[in-house]
Amino acid sequence: MPIRILQIDAFTSTPYTGNPAAVALIDGGEVPAWPADASLQALALEMNLSETAFPRRRRDGQWDLRWFTPATEVDLCGHATLATAHALFQLGLVEGTEITFHTRSGPLVCRAARRGGAIAMDFPRAEAEPCGPVEGMAEALGAEVVDQGRSFDLLAQLSSPQEVAALQPDFTALARIDTRAVVVTAAGDIDGGAAHFVSRVFGPRVGITEDPVTGSAHCITGPWWGQRLGLTELDAHQVSARGGRMRVRLAGERVELTGHAVTVLDGTLLTDL
């Protein structure tokens, strides 16, 4: 069965910026069986993007969704979820303005905004519990860490957004730290921007030296800065080389992440999975 595959830049409305994800549609009308995990992983490695998403239609009209980096399957991925929702809306594969994805992190709901083409994603809130200095962190980042927290990722707060933007980490040293990824953040924005905070995300342990824009990390940074700034709605700027922006709204035990996406490639996989 031919598989349609798209490449979509997420958390941006400008092609070749934001975070690219591949979306491989495991959909043949009737509910298909999942290909072998090794085949999904092989395609993710072939695409060599930070994530490849695999949505599969369910009999109830909702969707299963899985995410793979080039090295492993992951529990939660924001930009590839945004890319998948964008693809399904764009291709007319869902009715209405809402999609429910069933994932390893539970049900995730995506809603198309009424104006402007943005998509809002309902994600689980993740609190970063303050922790003491992590051995080797400051040396690996090459910067002074002023505060730290640990959730499913490790968060490191620096003193300024400019310092975050200028980081040149030692990725070999970062890979020795026991965490999926290191999220580095600071209050404010660069170049006169209006964001409440900036971030960068490094994940050499899962095959991603730097992720361009990371939705799941904002499940941590949103609450972190919401508490410190006294806000429930925040604008975020991930200051990687490609860059990307999103709106973060804190809603009890959930976090709503809103952003745009743009399709840059649409084709057909010529080999079976």
Which letter does DSSP use for residue 221 in this model? H
Could you identify the residue written with the tokens 């390893």? 104
CA atoms of 211 and 181, how far apart (whole Å):
9
HSE toward the beta carbon, residue 231, CA cutoff 13 A: 17
28 vs 50: CA distance, rounded Å: 26
Q: Which of 30, 46, 51, 98 is catalytic?
A: 51
Residue spans of alpha helices (H) in 15-157: 37-47, 78-90, 137-141
3-state secondary structure string across 224-241: HHHHHHCCCEEEEEECCC
Residue 107 · residue 237 · CB < 8 Å: no
Measured over the CA atoms of residue 139, residue 141, residue 144 and residue 147, the dihedral's sign is negative
Q: Is 51 a catalytic residue?
A: yes
Q: What angle do CA 156, 238, 86 make, to 5 degrees?
A: 130
Which residues are known catalytic residues? 51
